[in-house]
Chain A
């Protein structure tokens, strides 16, 4: 059983997934941030691999990625940093990134190494569904990695079912058709999440985009298995004196 599936067997509700950018705020922050998130009570970690042109991210996460790139972060360096991370981090970790850097690294090599390091799954928002089926799915299966697709309020019911069937671990429900860290009103999202809940999907659902505080986390959790917080945490890390303290305070405000 995958670490992610195991998590949802133990904990069905109020699962907190926090996004962080590898190599942010400092190149060497990757592991301290992950450890701090686990200690503070995050159930799952989404570790973003920085990319120069991240189409599916908002300005805060893009800026953190540019900082990480300036810090010198690459996939090779990240894998070096993650060499022994399973000694300290036991919560599931999914890597989020864009297809181009993975293709340049070599998709199969990437998956093999990630799996060997103890990574549990991938989120790559720009892989086309049909190519996933024809080219990538078998590679992920071979290395035992979960793959998480995104769905949005604009995604048709038929397509949601298809994306759910192709996903494993969990399904990422984009809260609205807007980008991460947006300040739009969260209320209209409820009916969409209710619709998802009524579809009896195969995977647990985590809600992302626009989840930024206790109120939005609680609301997301009313209709889904949990939520993903990204931009708000990246903002909190910006200029933080202590990663541990900042992370603890941040997670506490969400969970309390």
Chain B
């Protein structure tokens, strides 16, 4: 834990720690898999041939760069300048594919023949199934049996893309259990399988690797903002956080720019103190989940608590170690939005900008009401995903309103 860090926030130390969070708390059965990845991920990612193929796919397949859109009516509403980073326009409808494209190319170079993934809402599962179809590699997605019921369209998408969806029936039958099952699969298949984790969680080097693949978001924001405003730096970057992959990507190239306020919005569910929440920094303590030390929602006895959020993508009892460090160090501003606030924000964005955001992203928009913004502020919101997958939930809200 003693190696010097070039960057205070961006890069973990050699053991994978951001401050006191991170590391690799894994049973011996996983050590070889993780060490194989650890010893090769940086050199593979830095290869010219990898970068060439990755950039080409981001451009021609994912549809990057995604636009940075000045949201005029939203800006007027909040008397500030709001820019939307349109990750919802990525192929498959969310930022998740930035990571899966990178990891599938990595898996190929590691000689892996089989891909496993976990998914909550199904967005990461779809993004993984997509790149596996693209590369003709076998794909198995673990998904909590409860989530399979509530996210039927994404289950159908994964199947149509040729993936096998295996229900996780252990524990609480949601994302954390799907992750447990995927890790078990990896233990049972140590040689031919690569595990594509969908967020900046898991044992080192996953949080760093996924953050690097998502960092294209903030790289583009800087370039686009320069063209639009004459400065690369906004005053605020806002993103929702479950595990925290879109936030990690949107924050990445601003982490060392301390003038930029990084705003992470967690899901408070029915309310932070309702017992039905997923606001990890509010409710969590230092703990270990899925191989890394971070903030964790847990009982007094250290058993993991099942979170709640209306958005399956934020329904996670932990948070990536990078974000735990941003919270702990004060570098990040952590807010939370309830189910109701996120819904309200989603409907507002739909009406004011003609964009239906994912419920996850609705949480990020809800921060506009909570921050004291001025007309001089330049606020970038990471519009992490589109709302098609959430139509059933939105329809219920409209039925109630009628």
Interface residues of A (CB under 8 A from B): 51-53, 55-56, 58-59, 62-63, 66, 69, 74-76, 98-105, 125-128, 130-131, 134, 149-152, 154-155, 159, 163, 174, 177-179, 182
Contact = CB atoms under 8 A, between A and B. Distances in A.
A46 B176 CA distance: 27
A177 B187 contact: yes
A51 B303 contact: yes
Interface string B153-189: 0000000000000000011000011001001100110
Interface in B294-333: 296, 298, 300-304
Contact of B28 (A62, A69, A150, A179): A150
A53 B289 CA distance: 8
Interface residues of B, number: 36
Contact of A127 (B25, B171, B180, B290): B25
A151 to B, nearest CB: 6
The 8 closest A-B pairs by CB, nearest first: A101-B302, A104-B302, A56-B27, A125-B27, A154-B32, A150-B28, A52-B303, A100-B288
Interface of B is mostly: mixed
A100 B296 contact: yes
Contacts of B190: 154, 177
Given A55-B187, A75-B301, A159-B31, 9 more contacts: A52-B171, A52-B303, A66-B170, A101-B302, A105-B302, A126-B27, A127-B25, A174-B28, A177-B29
Nearest to B304: A52
Contacts, number: 109
Contact of A102 (B177, B188, B290, B302): B302
A100 B302 contact: yes
Contacts of B15: 130
B287 interface: yes
B28 A149 contact: yes
Contacts of B23: 128, 131
Given A53-B304, A178-B187, A150 B29 contact: yes
B28 A53 contact: no
Nearest to A66: B171
B24 interface: yes
Contacts of B283: none
Contacts of B300: 104
A159 B289 CA distance: 25
A134 B2 CA distance: 12
A174 B32 CA distance: 14
B188 A178 contact: yes
Given A177-B29, A177-B190, A104 B301 contact: yes
B298 A155 contact: no
Contacts of B303: 51-52, 69, 101
A196 to B, nearest CB: 13
Q: Which of A55, A130, A179, A182 has the most CB of B within 10 A?
A: A55
Contacts of B32: 152, 154-155, 177
